[in-house]
């Protein structure tokens, strides 16, 4: 059985890594499973892509479709054209996609149209917010997926409600957490640790890249000012996504305790998170990692597709209104932030469960 593994954007790489490990293990145990790793090129900067391959020991992709930037549609179309050509030249038995990025949706459409079945890892999660491209990607992908691998029971319930039959849903846990567990003991202090005078539990980490938070200059400026004003003077480390950097470059935001950096490597970023007082973010994946590590997380979004990070974990959703920041940060500094627990099956074995299931599915439909 030959599987295409699709990875295109930063949050895909940590999800695919544990599946590749599990495939290598299955092959070593003489299971009939081969893979072709396809990088769509959606993320192309060294520190958004290549560094993750190196740090997570992900093998060099067999193919890079070189799709890179452009609008939502340009990017999606470019990935589709590249993957279609590849699949026509050499067909695979299954296309496995992860997460909710444009690469996920683009490749599932291509595969399904060429009669190659699709497996979706992280299927069934829903924010209900159709203004986010990721939600459209999730809906479209799940509408044409054959095998659904889920992180939580709730994700499976969403799928069942939409008519997916139970025998196609595999509750396996979270491959992103597999990778976190594997690499936790190797997290690395970032080079700027001493330069910024960081001390354990005495700084905050922030990431923002969603259009709702960063695309309107003045709004971004007010958000940052409000966070700084309520940070009790602690250093605030802000590794900025390329999209956010472009906007920050036009704004005059200079504060003594604000440290804007390039996007960090996986090992450095998670070292920072693990040792921080708390995280302020609009990412989805980071809310899962903070939940696993028990780090307080304030999320600047109105909705989440990962409700377990709130009901079970350490995450709180406060919306995108800057005036919601003060009460949340007061709570963080009061020391009364909830402790949280780890969701079931987030135990480091999701990749193995996925590959075991794939091996046992002897006929894809
Ligand atoms: C994508 C995902 C999002 C994920 C995020 C993590 C979609 C719809 N969104 O959003 O779910 O949370 O990745 O980073 O797939 N850029 C660079 N260099 C790069 C990558 C991007 O300069 O290596 C620029 C692009 O040219 C573009 C902007 O950053 O101008 C946005 O990139 P894009 O891939 O469209 O979406 P993200 O915002 O990164």
| Cα dihedral sign, 252-256-262-264 | negative
User: From the CA of 242, how far away is ligand 1's center (Å)?
Assistant: 8
Average pLDDT, the chain: 96
Tell me which residue of 130, 126, 129, 83 sits closest to 103, measured CA to CA. 83
**H or E element: which one contains 120?**
strand 118-121
pLDDT digits (tens, 9 = 90+) for 156-204: 999 999 999 999 999 999 999 999 999 999 999 999 999 999 999 999 9
The yes-or-no verdict on residue 363 having pLDDT over 60 is no
Q: Does 209 qualify as catalytic in the annotation? A: yes
Contacts of 348 (CB under 8 A, 6+ apart): 177, 178, 181, 182
> What residues flank ligand 1, with Cβ below 6 Å?
9-11, 42-45, 48, 69, 75, 100-102, 133-134, 209, 241-243, 283
The whole-number pLDDT of residue 362 equals 67
Tell me the torsion sign for CA atoms 188, 197, 281, 346. positive
User: What is the Å distance from ligand 1's center to 260 Cα?
Assistant: 18
| Whole-angstrom distance, CA of residue 354 vs CA of residue 191 | 36
Mean pLDDT of 353-363: 89
Tell me what pLDDT residue 217 has.
83
Q: Which residues touch 240 (CB under 8 Å, ≥6 apart)?
A: 207, 208, 248, 260, 261, 262, 263
**pLDDT > 70: percent of the chain:** 99
**Residue of 120, 183, 209, 241 marked catalytic:** 209
Encode 197-221: b = buried (16+ Cβ within 10 Å), e = exposed: ebeeeebbbbbbbbebbbeeeeebb
SS3 198: coil
Evaluate if residue 365 carries a pLDDT over 50.
Answer: no
Q: From the CA of 133, give the closest atom in ligand 1.
A: 8
* pLDDT tens figures, 44-77: 999 999 999 999 999 999 999 999 889 999 999 9
166 DSSP β-pair partners = none
CA–centroid distance, 75 to ligand 1, in Å, is 10
Which of left, alpha, beta for 66 (phi over 0: left; psi -120 to 50: alpha)? left
Question: What does the pLDDT average to over 137-154?
Answer: 98
Q: Tell me: pLDDT of 303 over 70.
A: yes
Ramachandran bin of 245, using left for φ above 0, alpha for ψ from -120 to 50, beta for the remaining angles? alpha
Closest ligand 1 atom to the C-alpha of 100?
11
């Amino acid at each position: 059985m030959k599987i295409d593994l699709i990875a295109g954007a930063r949050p895909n790489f940590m999800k695919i890594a544990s599946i590749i490990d599990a495939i290598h293990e299955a092959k070593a145990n003489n299971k009939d499973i081969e893979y072709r790793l396809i990088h769509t090129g959606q993320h192309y900067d060294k520190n958004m892509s290549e560094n993750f391959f190196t740090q997570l020991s992900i093998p060099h992709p067999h193919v890079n479709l070189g799709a890179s930037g452009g609008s939502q549609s340009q990017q999606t179309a470019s990935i589709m054209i590249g993957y279609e050509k590849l699949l026509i030249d050499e067909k695979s038995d299954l296309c496995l996609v992860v997460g909710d990025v444009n690469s996920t949706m683009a490749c599932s459409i291509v595969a399904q149209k060429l009669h190659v079945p699709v497996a979706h890892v992280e299927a069934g999660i829903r924010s209900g917010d159709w203004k986010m491209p990721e939600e459209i990607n999730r809906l479209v992908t799940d509408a044409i997926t054959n095998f659904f691998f889920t992180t939580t029971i709730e994700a499976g319930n969403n799928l069942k409600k939409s008519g997916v039959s139970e025998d196609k849903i595999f509750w396996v846990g979270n491959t992103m957490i597999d990778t976190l567990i594997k690499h936790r003991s190797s997290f690395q202090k970032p080079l700027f640790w001493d330069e910024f005078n960081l001390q354990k539990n005495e700084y905050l980490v922030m990431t923002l890249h969603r259009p709702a938070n960063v695309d309107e200059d003045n709004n971004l400026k007010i958000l940052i000012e409000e966070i700084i004003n309520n940070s009790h003077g602690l250093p605030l480390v802000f590794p900025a996504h390329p999209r956010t950097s472009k906007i920050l470059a036009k704004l005059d935001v200079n504060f003594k305790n604000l440290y804007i950096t390039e996007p960090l490597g996986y090992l450095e970023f998670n070292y920072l998170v693990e040792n921080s007082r708390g995280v302020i973010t609009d990412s989805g994946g980071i809310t899962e990692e903070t939940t696993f590590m028990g780090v307080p997380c304030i999320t600047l979004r109105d909705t989440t597709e990962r409700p377990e990070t709130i009901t079970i974990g350490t995450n709180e959703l406060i919306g995108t209104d800057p005036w919601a920041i003060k009460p949340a940060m007061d709570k963080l500094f009061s020391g009364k932030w909830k402790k949280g627990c780890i969701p079931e099956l987030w135990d480091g074995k999701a990749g193995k469960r996925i590959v075991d299931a794939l091996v046992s599915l002897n006929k894809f439909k």
